[in-house]
Amino acid sequence: MSAKLADVLKTLDKTQEAALDRLFELLRIPSVSTDPAYKSHCQSAAEWCARELKAIGFHEAKVVTTTGHPMVVAHDRAKVPKGMPHVLFYGHYDVQPVDDPGKQWRSDPFEPVVRDGRLYARGATDDKGQTFTQMKAVQSLLATGQMPVNVKFMVEGEEECGSTNAYAFVEQHAGLLAADVVVVSDSHILAPDRPSIVTGLRGMTYMEIEVFGPSHALHSGAYGGIVHNPAQALAEILAALHDGAGRVTVPGFYDDVAELSAEQRAVLAKVPFTPERLHHETGLTVPWGEAGYELHERLGIRPTLEVNGLVSGWTGEGSKTVLPDTALAKVSCRLVPDQDPEKIYRLVADYVATLTPPTVRSEVRLLHTGNWVVVDPESPYIQAAARAYEFGFGKAPVYVREGGSIPIIGTFQKVLGAPAVLLGFGLPDDNLHAPNERFNLGNFYRGMKTAVHFYQELGARA
C-alpha cells in the first residue's frame, strides 16, 4: 500500500462514525418517488445530496429541476493531472415504497437503526447507502489531495419509477456529463468474502393490464352467472401468459434472446444459485422457472414475465358480494440481450388482445421501459474494479449476470459512449424493494476502501 493510500484510508477510518450520522440524515427523508404524495421529500433528498456533495469538496453541486423529481449534478475541480480519465458516478436518492399491509417492517423504515452490524432503513442499500459510500470515498480522496481522476456525480430521483426524466437529461446534458467510464454502486456482491462483478443486467418493460367488465360494479347475486367477471377474466389472461414449463407464451417473446456460448455459460456456472441460498433468502424449498436452464441462468440470461400487483373488487376485511367492474394487474418483463423493450410491450399487448374474449374489454398500458446491459469483463475498467475489490474485500471477484435492471446504464453507453462499471456493495439478502431493507456496515466500510482503490487504480493505469 502506498503512503498516500494509507493516508486516505486513515482519513476514512477517522470519519466513520460521523459518516454514519450523515447517512442517517439522508435515510430519514422518505423520498418515495413513485407516489406523488412524497414529492416534497424527493426535493428535500435532492437538496440534501447537493449540500453534501458541496460539503465533501465538490466545487459545484446543483439541484436541476425536471418535469418529475429533480436531478443532482456535481463537478470537482481537484488538481488532477492533464489527461487523466473522467469518471461519472451515477446513483439515486429515491427509494421504493414501503407499503406494509402485513406489518413486516420490524422498525420504522424512515428511522434508521443498526441491529447486528446491519443498518435497517428503506434505501439503506438501494441506493442511498451505496451512493453515500461513494461520496465518502471521494471525500477522503479530495480531503487528502489524492484524487487521481476527474469525478462527476449524477444522482437522480426517479430510478424506482422508471427514470422517466433521466434519459432525456443525459441526452440534453451530454457535454456536462461526458466521461470515459460510468461508475454505478447499485448492485450487490455474492457475500462479504465473495466479491463479484456484475457483467450483465436485465432490461425492463413495465405494463398495466386492465380488464373492463360491466359499466359499474354489480351485485354478484343479481348478475353472477351471466356477466363475465373481470377479475376472473384477468386471472384467465394472466394464467395464459406462461406454459407448464415456466416459459412465457407470448408469441415472439424469445425471438431476439441471445443464446450464450457453452464457454460463456461455463463462466457463469462457477456461481450457481444454490437451493440453500434460495431457502435462506426466500424461505422456499422448491424453485420455479423456465425448464432447461439453471437457476442462475433463469435470473441472469433469460427473460421473465412477472405479476407485480393485482387489484379488483373488494379487498378489505370480510366479505362483499360484488361483481367487480374492472381488474388490474401490474406486469413487468425482465429482458436480456437482444430483446427490445418497446417490441416486447407490443408483443404482450397483441397477445393479451387475442386472449381477451368478447365478454370483456382489455387494455395493456406501457408504464416504462429500460434497456439490458452487458459489459466486457476484459475491459481495463473492469480489471481495475477487480483489483479494487480484491483490495477492499481480500479476495478476487467472480463474474456474474444480475437479474435486476439499471436501465439508465444503457443510455450512458449509447449517449456518452462510456462503458459502465458496477461497483456494488450490497448483499443478496439486503431485502431490496421489500420490508426490512438493510445495508451490511462491514460492506459500507469495505466498499469505501474498494472505491478509493478503484479511483487510484484508474489514475495509476491511465
Q: Which of residues 389-408 bind a copy of itself (CB under 8 A)?
A: 402-405
Which residues between 276 and 305 bind a copy of itself (CB under 8 A)?
A: 278, 281-284, 286-290, 295, 298-299, 302, 304
SS3 assignment, position 357: coil
Distance (Å) of CA 18 to CA 25, 27, 51, 116, 184:
11, 15, 16, 19, 24
- Using the minimum distance from each CB to a copy of itself, give the nearer residue, 89 or 273: 273
Which residues between 214 and 243 bind a copy of itself (CB under 8 A)?
A: 214-229, 231-232, 234-236, 238-242
Backbone phi, psi, residue 89, to 5°: -90, 135
Size of the site for a copy of itself (CB under 8 A): 99
In angstroms, what is the minimal distance from the CB of 29 to a copy of itself? Answer: 19
Which residues between 5 and 34 bind a copy of itself (CB under 8 A)?
A: 34
The alpha-helical segments, DSSP class H, found in 111-177 are 128-143, 166-172, 174-177
Q: Is the Cβ–Cβ distance between 53 and 74 less than 8 Å?
A: yes
- Using the minimum distance from each CB to a copy of itself, give the nearer residue, 37 or 262: 37
Per rule CB under 8 A, is residue 318 in the interface with a copy of itself?
yes
Tell me the pairing of strands 322-323 and 398-401: unpaired
- Using the minimum distance from each CB to a copy of itself, give the nearer residue, 24 or 293: 293
Residue with cell string 439453471: 294
Per rule CB under 8 A, is residue 83 in the interface with a copy of itself?
no
Nearest alpha-carbon partner for 197 in 394, 409, 388: 388
Which residues between 334 and 393 bind a copy of itself (CB under 8 A)?
A: 334, 358-359, 367-368
As a whole number of Å, the end-to-end CA separation of the chain is 19
Q: Could you tell me which stretch among 92-100, 110-118, 264-272, 377-385 binds a copy of itself (CB under 8 A)?
A: 92-100
- Using the minimum distance from each CB to a copy of itself, give the nearer residue, 302 or 449: 302
Per rule CB under 8 A, is residue 103 in the interface with a copy of itself?
no
Nearest alpha-carbon partner for 26 in 178, 128, 101, 148: 128
Per rule CB under 8 A, is residue 36 in the interface with a copy of itself?
yes
CA dist., res. 167 & res. 41, Å (int): 22
- Using the minimum distance from each CB to a copy of itself, give the nearer residue, 175 or 358: 358
Q: Which of 12, 42, 147, 327 binds a copy of itself (CB under 8 A)?
A: 327
Q: Which residues contact 119 (CB under 8 A, 6 or more apart)?
A: 20, 23, 27, 112, 113, 129, 438, 439, 441, 444
Tell me the pairing of strands 373-374 and 361-370: unpaired
What is the torsional sign of CA 99, 101, 104, 110? positive
Per rule CB under 8 A, is residue 62 in the interface with a copy of itself?
no
In angstroms, what is the minimal distance from the CB of 246 to a copy of itself? Answer: 8
In angstroms, what is the minimal distance from the CB of 452 to a copy of itself? Answer: 27
- Using the minimum distance from each CB to a copy of itself, give the nearer residue, 242 or 265: 242
SS3 assignment, position 439: strand
Q: Is the Cβ–Cβ distance between 408 and 163 less than 8 Å?
A: yes
Which residues between 411 and 440 bind a copy of itself (CB under 8 A)?
A: 428, 431-436
Per rule CB under 8 A, is residue 196 in the interface with a copy of itself?
no
Q: Which of 162, 392, 397, 424 binds a copy of itself (CB under 8 A)?
A: 162
Per rule CB under 8 A, is residue 328 in the interface with a copy of itself?
yes
